[in-house]
A and B are shown apart, each in its own frame.
Chain A
Amino acid sequence: MEALVASAIGIMTAAGIYLILRLRTFPVVLGMAMLSYAVNIFLFATGRLAVNMPPILGHAGANTPGYTDPMPQALVLTAIVISFGMTAVVVMLSLGAFIEAGNDRIDLGEEEKTK
């Protein structure tokens, strides 16, 4: 199981890196989203993997053999929401740049640099 998760994280990271190195905004945004997935699962996995051990205590009736580490989960939960905020800002920036400049390149062109 660990090997599957680790390889998936690796592949998503690779895809994310490849996409953020593209020259247009949309692939870069996709790449950032991909990296967010990878990083979130990475952080989550630092709590080690466990199946059928959610950190919900037994008082409400559920009964499990043990509990997984809740700390990384709490961190990742907020990270997911924050990464939505970040994606939204980046999307808005790229959209604004596209409407203003008329193209969606991420690098400054020669004429923009001199400004």
Chain B
Amino acid sequence: MSPALIAALPFIGAFLPALLIRTGRTHAAAAAGLTSGLALLGLLLHLPAVLRGEVIQARIEWLPWLGLNANFMIDGLGMLFATLILGIGILIILYARYYLTKADPAGQFYTYLLLFQGAMVGIVLSDNILLLLVFWELTSLSSFLLIGFWKHLPEGRQGARMALTVTGLGGLSMIAGMLILGNIAGSYDISEILKHREAIQSSDLYLPALILILGGAFTKSAQFPFHFWLPHAMAAPTPVSAYLHSATMVKAGLFLMARLWPVLSGTPEWFYLVATTGLITMLIGAKIAIFKDDLKALLAFSTVSHLGLITFLLGLGTKTAAVAAVFHIINHATFKAALFMSAGIVDHEAHTRDLKRLGGLRHLMPITATIAVIAALSMAGIPLFNGFLSKELMLEEAAHTVWAETTWLVPVVATLAALFSAAYSFRFIAHGFFGPVRDDYPHTPHDPGIGMWASPAFLVTLVVLIGVMPMTFAGPYVQMAANAVVGGELHMHPIKHWHGVTPALMMSGIAVVGGIALLALFKPLKLLWESMPRPEAKVIFDWLVEGFADLSGRFTAALHNGAMARYLMLFTLGSIAAGLWAWTGGTQGPITRAMLPVTPVALVGWVMLVTATLCVVAFHHNRLLALVLISIVGLIVSICFIYLSAPDLALTQISVEVVTAVLMLLALNFLPKTTALESGRLKLSADAALAMAGGLAVGGLIYALMMRDFSFETMAAYHLAKSYELGGGDNVVNVILVDFRGYDTYGEITVLGIAALVIFALTEALLSGTASRKLIAWRPDMVRGGDKHPLMLLIASRVILPIALLVGVFIFLRGHNLPGGGFIAGLVVSIALVMQYMASGFAWTQARQKVYYHVLIGAGVLAAGITGAGAWFNGMPFLTSDFGYVKLPGLEKFELATAAGFDLGVFLGVVGSVMLSLGGLSRLARRAAAIEDEEGAHIVAEKPAAREVAAAAAVAYPAGTPLPRRWLSARAAKGEEQ
């Protein structure tokens, strides 16, 4: 099986439990187990080859220009980790089937678990550090879901957040480090990076890269001072803790250090950073674990301590230490997973995990007790169990490690840590399972069914087998993985129990005896411990997070204070400043074009445009007048387009002008008809100055542009030359729209459709809730015309409709060769329809409407898309058009182009969007006018409060706000008198 498929399988399988949970928990668990099993099988098929020293690779190019490729490889290290992840995964899936209760959403659980499993397998099989980073982040996210699985528990949510924050930050740091590393090595492929040890270690950026990468590894593997998240993650269900904290999540950091060991290790920086951190973590974790009463908390701190142990070994940088590290990774995974599961069984059966309330369980649950005791003895480092062997190797290494020229420090600290470790393991056994049977358990415990203890029992069997015959059961795998870690053939000393009386044996003896002594003195020591002040990590963490959240909140509030006028002002100011900077810094070539002569017509147009524009500004307080004035501007702009050889633009502009005017009038139906004077003289002057500066800048820029020739040859020549030949049309603008740049147009009609749907959604929102009541109680603020639907207009518009539609069809059909096309035709037809609404009323027209405008929008986008996709059948890329000439009897020869189908899509899209937008506004107006209707009267009768709400809404300005012009004020005063 390809390594890529092995990594992909859990992700694919993650869907199954979510789907199968409807048929029961057992099916969901079975699907998850089978997925993991299949992946494990695929992996193990490669085992013989990997044991021979081969590396299985799968290379898939993804984004090669970024160096990001989906390259996977299975080497010894990846094989070992993937086996642990998948193997223990299967055991956990089985265990969780019986651990989770009916109330727990087991489908979600298995889905999350498989996502997490896939991310972990991805990390250990990646041969590309960028890909590895992707999987690394995925483990952070999926473990967040798992840790916070019990959403109803605040501890669960807080623990999940803390884990995500810490490991997520570490991930960011690691990204930076990895990018530096890849940059030094010249490749992001791990197999390539591992060949550049000298280049990396001699680089100036070695130390920053090292620190950043370790930031990621230490946070993930809970090394001091980032260890605090791990115990809080214990709020997760026990199967999660057993999985995350024995074989997977926290081992990811160790994996990374082992993976990059060949290129990063062996320097003093590496030694002092990694080995020291590991040593401190080992000691602190073990010390805290002794005094924890909660079984899982004890195991959590013990995990921290053991992770420290492995980190310490990797930090030493010697090959024998690497062997010991690999061996302890296996051993820790086996006994710690078994211990977590045993703790879970105790919790499940006795309903408590508190050591103070437990004891004597070996009589009540003998199977669980046997499993737990064996695993705990292995953790304590007692001979015949696997934990002893790797701990011996560690102590052996520690015995001759010199730290800053002191020979005694490391051995003493290591022995002390081993001693603490023995102490908490003994306490776990003695206070949990030994002692007299009590009669005050919250629930009388007994051994669970085989489903729950099968998994830990299997692991404990491994603990014993590896402990008794290490070279048979673990030797080849340790050799295989250690070879991959050190990057070459390694001569491994056989792992055995008896080496003679070595320093390690003596240290081990001291640890065990000391551990027993500590346990005997536990009560006074505990009192001493409790009387000492201890820093509480959660408090510090919460304080930090709160501080940052507060800071960000204040920063955002200051930046984003809700004053839109200020944003727009700053935006304009920034744009002008940027323009000024570019203008003063850049150079411009000489003027190369002669100015076109100014004709009298152009001059008249200019005068009208400028006058209308200035009048809009001057009279904008009178909103209806401003609307008329701005329409003049639009009209002159259309004429300007005709004059300057752009007939298509002129047609578009003038039809858009009409629908915009209708739109604004509909809006003004509700909005106040006047704008009062609110800004002071200072603001007005400042705004005017800013506006003038902006206008000057834009005008100057376009003048400079127009007076110079193009710096490069434009695409115009190509379009003009090929328009007829390739697109089959004479109207080059239309050919560009439907053919050369059809993809753009396709996007644009989609956007237009979305805008119309947004308006529809807004209308729907306004037509329900309080806004609807306000609308119903609405009273028009202006005197209405007497006749709602004047007869003349009504008749004329109905007569004109077929003609207008025909004009639309005509404009559509001629569009490919003469000015026109889908956009313009769509607008013309919309105007024809809007006229019906205006003349005959909304209800009359709506009753005769056969097709919903939503359907038109959808049909338009679909028609354009299908036409575009048709090119595939021709063996051409999306949206390539084709055309030919057809002769029908009785008609002239005419052209048929596939582009016409596309243009039809544009047409439909435009009609649908325009009508849906205007229709939305009309519906609001109709709701407001519905007071006479049965429904409106009904609502007002039922909810008289509606009128009061509306009255409050009508006061748009505070009392006494001045109106700008005398005549406007005078009219307002006259209105009040009446």
Interface string of A37-60 (1 = CB under 8 A from B): 110111011111111111111111
**Contact residues in A for B736 (Cβ distance below 8 Å):** 70-71, 74
Partner-contacting stretch, out of B447-455, B507-515, B641-649, B931-939? B641-649
Establish whether residues A49 and B596, one from each chain, have CB atoms under 8 Å apart when the complex forms. Answer: yes
Residue from A14, A76, A78 within 8 A of B691 (CB atoms)? A14
**Contact residues in A for B695 (Cβ distance below 8 Å):** 10-15, 17
Most chain B beta carbons < 10 A, residue from A57, A71, A81, A113: A81
**A28 CA to B568 CA, complexed, in Å:** 10
**Contact residues in A for B580 (Cβ distance below 8 Å):** none
Given contact pairs A2-B707, A77-B649, A80-B649, A91 touches B667 in the complex (Cβ within 8 A): yes
Given contact pairs A85-B752, A96-B771, A74 touches B737 in the complex (Cβ within 8 A): yes
Interface size band for A: 35 or more
Asked whether any CB of chain A lies closer than 8 Å to the CB of B775, the reply is yes
Interface string of B716-733 (1 = CB under 8 A from A): 100110011000001111
Establish whether residues B641 and A14, one from each chain, have CB atoms under 8 Å apart when the complex forms. Answer: no
Chain A min CB distance to B112 (Å): 36
Residue from B617, B696, B954 within 8 A of A18 (CB atoms)? B617
Given contact pairs A70-B719, A95-B671, A100-B771, A113 touches B698 in the complex (Cβ within 8 A): no
Establish whether residues A56 and B730, one from each chain, have CB atoms under 8 Å apart when the complex forms. Answer: yes
Asked whether any CB of chain A lies closer than 8 Å to the CB of B201, the reply is no
**Contact residues in A for B715 (Cβ distance below 8 Å):** 71
Establish whether residues A60 and B633, one from each chain, have CB atoms under 8 Å apart when the complex forms. Answer: no
Establish whether residues B630 and A9, one from each chain, have CB atoms under 8 Å apart when the complex forms. Answer: no
Interface string of B657-681 (1 = CB under 8 A from A): 0011001100110111001001100
Chain A min CB distance to B197 (Å): 55
**A93 CA to B766 CA, complexed, in Å:** 10
Establish whether residues B759 and A71, one from each chain, have CB atoms under 8 Å apart when the complex forms. Answer: no
Q: Which residue of A lies closest to B734 (CB)?
A: A74
**Contact residues in B for A8 (Cβ distance below 8 Å):** 606, 609-610, 613, 640
Chain B interface, number of residues (Cβ within 8 angstroms): 124
Establish whether residues B766 and A96, one from each chain, have CB atoms under 8 Å apart when the complex forms. Answer: yes
Using a CB-CB cutoff of 8 Å, which residues 716-775 of chain B contact chain A? 716, 719-720, 723-724, 730-733, 736-737, 741, 744-745, 748, 751-752, 755-756, 758-759, 762-763, 765-766, 770-771, 774-775
**Contact residues in B for A59 (Cβ distance below 8 Å):** 724, 730, 817
Chain B min CB distance to A105 (Å): 9
Interface string of B621-640 (1 = CB under 8 A from A): 00100110010011001001
Establish whether residues A44 and B641, one from each chain, have CB atoms under 8 Å apart when the complex forms. Answer: yes
Residue from A42, A60, A102 within 8 A of B952 (CB atoms)? A102
**Contact residues in B for A69 (Cβ distance below 8 Å):** 714, 716
Given contact pairs A24-B675, A70-B733, A17 touches B720 in the complex (Cβ within 8 A): no
Identify 6 residue pairs between A and B in the complex whose beta-carbon atoms are under 8 Å apart, listed by A's number.
Answer: A7-B610, A14-B695, A18-B617, A81-B827, A103-B955, A113-B562
The 5 A-B pairs with the shortest beta carbon distances in the complex, nearest first, are A10-B699, A14-B695, A108-B562, A102-B953, A6-B703
B-to-A contact residues, CB < 8 Å: 561-566, 568-569, 572, 593, 595-599, 602-603, 606, 609-610, 613-614, 616-617, 620, 623, 626-627, 630, 633-634, 637, 640-641, 643-649, 652-653, 656, 659-660, 663-664, 667-668, 670-672, 675, 678-679, 687-688, 690-692, 694-696, 698-700, 702-703, 705-707, 709-710, 714-716, 719-720, 723-724, 730-733, 736-737, 741, 744-745, 748, 751-752, 755-756, 758-759, 762-763, 765-766, 770-771, 774-775, 817-819, 823, 827, 910, 913-914, 917-918, 920-921, 924, 952-957
Other than A10-B696, A33-B630, A98-B671, give 15 A-B pairs with Cβ distance below 8 A. Answer: A4-B598, A6-B703, A10-B698, A15-B616, A17-B690, A21-B565, A21-B690, A29-B664, A30-B626, A48-B709, A77-B733, A82-B748, A91-B667, A95-B766, A99-B766
